Structure 1
Amino acid sequence: MTGPLDGVRILDLTSNFMGPYASLLLADMGADVSKVESKQGDTTRGIGPCRNRGMGPIFLHLNRNKRSLVLDLKSTDGNAALKRMARSADVLMYSLRPKAMERLGLSYEDVRAVNPGIIHCGMYGFGQNGPYADRPAYDDLIQAAVGMPVLQSRKAGPPDYVATAIADRVVGMAATSAVSMALFRRERTGEGQEVQVPMFETFAHFVMGDHLYGHTFVPAIGDWGYQRMMNPDRRPYRTLDGYIGVNVYIDKHWQRFFEVTGHPEMAQDPRFADIHGRTENIGLLYEYLGRVFETKTTAEWMALMTEADIPIIEMNTPESLLDDPHMKQVGFFGEQEHPSEGMLRTLGIPQQWSESSPELRYPAPRLGEHSVQLLAEYGFSDTEIDGLLSSGAVQAGDSGDSYKANSGD
């Protein structure tokens, strides 16, 4: 057994960031994920620097532990092949809009007809019972729709997006959770089901728990937005020689901090004595922190704050994180020889399991690399596979050596 989901078969019809992140988390836990791609391949194959076309860094990180099958789902033979595979699959995941799935004959009703026990999980922009149901959606659009750029603007400047695909990845995690719970229920009842994971509603749930704030009450008894989160001085603090992240948060933290910085009387000030007062006056405290931390070096503050048991950490860049002593000790960043891409740096599986420990089993696949292998595992004969290849309904990938030759590298 490799991972708690060992033996779970997933047909993954997703592309870009959100869906592949969801299936990545399931694949890392041991699920057997068949990444079903068009002849053009997942769009993320073309993003970023690469040694070979179609094998960019975003794709490599999102699609390890999966195998690639190229199917033309618009062709009669390719569509029929997927439905046949669905008979023995546990999960079908997709990120197309539901109407596109209906046109392909792959709606929940269509797939349930061949496999009543399947978990059919859709990840798309908007809930299907609202006026935005048919709209396309991407991470930036959902961030904007939920108000994230406005929340960012209260810190500084005009509305701005968060500098990572936060909506895609949050919704992907929600989809992973939903699929896992649906599988758990099926273990109890034997029943499959449809699971819908809309981006707009899911990301709103994620953001508004912090920022509905005064509008939680009817009528509202204050403004929206958690003040501490939006304050422009909530940031890493400059020291004499670098930056640090510090969370002076609970009463004891502040009491110790005021004492360490030579102003113990501030702990008795009603503006700062408890979390309610500090939240109302957080701007004053952040300004104070900013002034104080510029007076010593990072090493000095690390020693002082650690001694006072106040949460602190040195600020990393993505590059310096590679040499972070904790990350090095736990082995989070590893190296793996890819059949066509050479030596790659890998991201570790964060959790630790006492049993059924998951592993990095497969590097990210070349386009169509496992088409023949997967069809055979799903019960197609050699003759049937040859027919699908001949008709163009299926495309098989090249070997590593010929892949490099075809890419021009």
Structure 2
Amino acid sequence: MNDRGGALAGVRVVDFGHYVAGPLAALMLADQGADVVHVDRPGAVLDSADAFLNRNKRRITLDLKASSDLDTARELVRRADVLIENFRPGVMDRLGLGWAELREVNPRLLYCSLPGFAAADPRAGVPGWEGVIAAATGNCRIRVGYVPKGWDPTRPTYSAIPVASNFAAFCGAFAVVAGLTSRHRTGRGDRIEVPLYHAMFEAVGGSGAYPTARGLGPERAIRSNGSGTYRCADGRYVQFNPIGATTRFLSWFLDAAGATEWAGEGLTDRPRMDREPHLRDLLEERLTGLFLTRPALEWEELGDVAGVPLTMVRTTGEWLDSAHARVSGEVVVLDDPALGPTAMPGSPVWLSGTPAVPDRPRSLPDGDRAEILEELAAPSGSAGLPAGEGGLPYQGRKVVDLTQILAGPSAGRILAEFGADVVKINVPQRWVGAHGFVNRGKRTVLLDVKSSQGQQVLWRLIDEADVLTHNFPGRTADSYGLGYQHVRARRPDIVYVSVNCFGRGGPWSDRRGYETQGQAATGVMVRAGGEGPPVVFGPYNVLDYGTGTMAAFAAALGLYHRETMGQGQHVHASLTQTGLYQQAWQVLRPAESQGPAALGPSPWQRFYQAADGWFFLGAMEEQLPALRQVVGLEELDPERIAAAFRTSGAAEWTRRLVAAGVGAHPVSSLGELMTDPRARTLGLSVNQVSEEVGEVVMPGLAISVEGNPPRLGAAVRRPGADGRAVLDEIGLGEEADTLARGWAVQLDALPPGWNPF
């Protein structure tokens, strides 16, 4: 076993994963110092993505149907701390490697399963190909505002980005580290399950939250303050996203661009533009003309100087080669044994005290066999872990959450689901976006952290906290006296979590950006646009919610190190690194079908139109004989099967194909997903009660833990509703009214937490 340092040094992982979800989750642990042994199947065909997914791991090839190799696998697991697999439910049980059997020989084991559908889902036996899960969860729509002219709104679009597999890996890696923290106290292992279908509800996020009385509202294009993607003088594009409660970003940009006079026409007057919609159209028309006057890179540099969220749209290759990505460590170059020096995503998160170690190129299959077998031949000692009381991993831990929008608050919500007491702080006198979902399970306070009185309250909270999270841009935290060095001086064991768009340590670290800037910089928009103009990817905010999970993973690593070593540290997650990880499977592979018109990478993995709608067919080449046995598909000519599929409904074709052992699923809308009886039975779509708007529908819990299940936080109260109770707790209850009169806190006339529209 090689101990290379890192937060997970000394942790042993056996990786039975294949495709993306399993290997990616194991890679995230390997990069933090875990000793990961990846088990290959005999004759496994490798593609270039293997260079990324299996770096930092040792490898052994085992035929799990052969008794001697199966014995080797069992001995690996007997000595392991973590097992990761992403087979369909029941496969590992049939091999004698299921949880029920292995926990008897290794009660300390954390067993992490990442199947397509859960064992408790009636679709458990359906092959959970990425397209199948996309159809089941509505992740096959073009984002509103980027739909081509004349587009049939019922037609799905295929994404080469494996969103469900990625989210399952992100959630699985977090849950494993949380489980290690719990096991450190109890000495007991557990079974974790994050099906790809479940994981997509983490990606859906606030898009699937709505008051029952109103119903799910229509998707809206992001157009506020002139937000959009604009063509420039050199034919390239920029993504400009001056969103916010005010038009300050737009005003800063116009000042820098020499167009200050537009303000006199009402083009920076938000209330007036809301009253007079033609001004919004005029603003977009003016911006379209303005951006055509300079090349994209020049606009990006101007935006940086002006301090606004504006980024040139790049390809993934350009981001991999960029100085910022290399200097910040978001991209590393490893000398792969087959490909030579190869650029690939670095560690998904940054840690100051236990730096990640993505420094070992992959071994080729069976490359570490002799070393692994020699270790297994040696006697194994007892781990000597304690047998203490249980409880959720972060029970008794306090989090002060200063983050805004989606990514940072999602990290706090996930920590709350795993037991943390999270106090959410928002700015007074503002509507809090997506509050009902991202701040569920937290206590909520409206506090002005810029004021001296507000800082007095904040430091009382920090003095009792184990974790502080923020997503202040640039050096703002330092300017408020809230930088890591300031907080560490009073709380040396704090886990200090920061989130931004462009990562840490490079020349872009201080730049502002949102989901769209992260997509623009890392090539996601180019990939989504295909041969046409770049477009913002997908119906869901996969960078925001993905970064929320990554930030929770970073916090979990910090808390595990604190639990085991007693030391705090600064940890960091970014939208651009999440953008790279969302594409990581494609970074080193030939491009798959992409762009709005794509239906799939092959005739056997693609969307088809049935008589009453669309469905996804997911079959492997070796399943074609079984496909021919399906009535109506005797001749597997692509044009003929497309015509055959239009003769019956999507549900009927799905029934026939699944009966033949082939993956298939009708396309669901978001509204259908959130009311699907299967999603409701599985706790993925839940009804809760908000004191503000009454009954609401929201996504449930994506992660299942058998013996120590996470908790579904109570529907959050109106923003600021816990202000007095929190002030009482920290000894400032008698000063509450004085603080409110000085606008340090807001205790009455609280703003809405649900979109009033």
Measure how far apart 1:294 and its partner are: 2.1
Structure 2 counterparts to residues 54-203 of structure 1, below 5 A: 56-152=47-143, 155-156=146-147, 157=151, 158-203=155-200
**CA distance in structure 1 between the partners assigned to 2:364 and 2:378 by the alignment:** 22
Q: 2:208 aligns with which of 201, 212, 219?
A: 212
**CA distance in structure 2 between the partners assigned to 1:305 and 1:342 by the alignment:** 37
**CA distance in structure 2 between the partners assigned to 1:278 and 1:188 by the alignment:** 61
**CA distance in structure 2 between the partners assigned to 1:283 and 1:14 by the alignment:** 50
Measure how far apart 1:307 and its partner are: 3.7
- Give yes or no for contact 1:153–1:159 (8 Å, CA) kept in 2: no
Q: Secondary structure at the match of 1:25?
A: helix
Measure how far apart 1:222 and its partner are: 5.1
Q: Residue type matched to 1:193 in 2?
A: D
Counterpart residue number, 2:7 = 4
Q: Secondary structure at the match of 2:141?
A: helix
- Give yes or no for contact 2:208–2:216 (8 Å, CA) kept in 1: no
> What is the TM-score normalised by the length of structure 1?
0.79
Q: Secondary structure at the match of 2:267?
A: helix
Q: Secondary structure at the match of 2:343?
A: strand
Measure how far apart 1:366 and its partner are: 0.9
- Quick check: 344-353 or 91-100, which moved more? 344-353
- Give yes or no for contact 1:246–1:313 (8 Å, CA) kept in 2: yes
Aligned length: 361
Shift in CA distance, 151/245, structure 1 to aligned 2, threshold 3 Å? closer
Shift in CA distance, 278/347, structure 1 to aligned 2, threshold 3 Å? farther
- Give yes or no for contact 1:86–1:92 (8 Å, CA) kept in 2: yes
After superposition, give the CA deviation of every residue in 1:3-22 in whole Å (9 maximum; x if it has no partner).
11111111111101111111
Identity over aligned pairs, percent: 28
Shift in CA distance, 10/245, structure 1 to aligned 2, threshold 3 Å? same
Structure 2 counterparts to residues 41-60 of structure 1, below 5 A: 41=44, 43=45, 45=46, 56-60=47-51
Measure how far apart 1:325 and its partner are: 3.0
Structure 1 residues without counterparts, runs of 5 or longer: 46-55, 382-409
Structure 2 residues without counterparts, runs of 5 or longer: 380-757
**CA distance in structure 1 between the partners assigned to 2:227 and 2:15 by the alignment:** 40
Q: Secondary structure at the match of 1:211?
A: helix
Counterpart residue number, 2:318 = 320
- Give yes or no for contact 2:320–2:343 (8 Å, CA) kept in 1: no
**CA distance in structure 2 between the partners assigned to 1:163 and 1:235 by the alignment:** 24
After superposition, give the CA deviation of every residue in 1:113-156 in whole Å (9 maximum; x if it has no partner).
11011001100111222211221102222122111112547732
Measure how far apart 1:243 and its partner are: 1.7
Structure 2 counterparts to residues 218-297 of structure 1, below 5 A: 218-221=212-215, 223-228=217-222, 236-241=229-234, 242-250=236-244, 251=246, 252-257=248-253, 261=259, 262-264=261-263, 265-270=266-271, 272=273, 289-297=287-295
Q: Secondary structure at the match of 1:124?
A: coil
Q: Residue type matched to 1:132 in 2?
A: R
**CA distance in structure 2 between the partners assigned to 1:118 and 1:69 by the alignment:** 20
**CA distance in structure 2 between the partners assigned to 1:195 and 1:311 by the alignment:** 38
Q: 2:308 aligns with which of 302, 307, 310?
A: 310
Measure how far apart 1:290 and its partner are: 3.3
Shift in CA distance, 354/331, structure 1 to aligned 2, threshold 3 Å? closer
Measure how far apart 1:181 and its partner are: 0.8
Shift in CA distance, 132/222, structure 1 to aligned 2, threshold 3 Å? closer
- Give yes or no for contact 1:210–1:226 (8 Å, CA) kept in 2: no
Counterpart residue number, 1:367 = 365
Measure how far apart 1:227 and its partner are: 3.4
Q: Residue type matched to 2:267 in 1?
A: M
Counterpart residue number, 1:395 = none
**CA distance in structure 2 between the partners assigned to 1:114 and 1:181 by the alignment:** 22
- Name the Cα RMSD after superposition: 2.9
Shift in CA distance, 126/220, structure 1 to aligned 2, threshold 3 Å? farther
Shift in CA distance, 343/153, structure 1 to aligned 2, threshold 3 Å? same
Shift in CA distance, 331/362, structure 1 to aligned 2, threshold 3 Å? closer
- Give yes or no for contact 1:98–1:107 (8 Å, CA) kept in 2: no
- Quick check: 169-178 or 218-227, which moved more? 218-227
**CA distance in structure 2 between the partners assigned to 1:144 and 1:235 by the alignment:** 28
**CA distance in structure 1 between the partners assigned to 2:91 and 2:23 by the alignment:** 18
Q: Secondary structure at the match of 1:113?
A: helix
Measure how far apart 1:380 and its partner are: 5.8
**CA distance in structure 2 between the partners assigned to 1:6 and 1:286 by the alignment:** 53
Shift in CA distance, 36/234, structure 1 to aligned 2, threshold 3 Å? farther
Q: Secondary structure at the match of 1:296?
A: coil
Q: Residue type matched to 1:228 in 2?
A: I
- Give yes or no for contact 1:152–1:161 (8 Å, CA) kept in 2: no
**CA distance in structure 2 between the partners assigned to 1:295 and 1:17 by the alignment:** 43
Measure how far apart 1:205 and its partner are: 2.6
Measure how far apart 1:164 and its partner are: 1.6
Counterpart residue number, 2:351 = 353
**CA distance in structure 1 between the partners assigned to 2:179 and 2:280 by the alignment:** 43
- Give yes or no for contact 1:35–1:66 (8 Å, CA) kept in 2: yes
Counterpart residue number, 2:42 = 39
**CA distance in structure 2 between the partners assigned to 1:278 and 1:94 by the alignment:** 56
Measure how far apart 1:361 and its partner are: 4.1
After superposition, give the CA deviation of every residue in 1:220-273 in whole Å (9 maximum; x if it has no partner).
3452435329x9x97532111122222211211134346653311222252546
Q: Secondary structure at the match of 1:148?
A: coil
Q: Secondary structure at the match of 1:149?
A: coil
Q: Residue type matched to 1:178 in 2?
A: A
**CA distance in structure 1 between the partners assigned to 2:250 and 2:43 by the alignment:** 56
After superposition, give the CA deviation of every residue in 1:181-237 in whole Å (9 maximum; x if it has no partner).
111110121110000111111112312x24225xx11123452435329x9x97532
Shift in CA distance, 15/288, structure 1 to aligned 2, threshold 3 Å? farther
Q: Residue type matched to 2:49 in 1?
A: I
Counterpart residue number, 1:403 = none
Q: Residue type matched to 1:197 in 2?
A: V
- Quick check: 155-164 or 142-151, which moved more? 155-164
Q: Residue type matched to 1:20 in 2?
A: P
Q: Secondary structure at the match of 2:58?
A: strand
- Give yes or no for contact 2:334–2:360 (8 Å, CA) kept in 1: no
Counterpart residue number, 1:384 = none
Counterpart residue number, 1:401 = none
Measure how far apart 1:64 and its partner are: 0.1
Q: Residue type matched to 1:105 in 2?
A: G
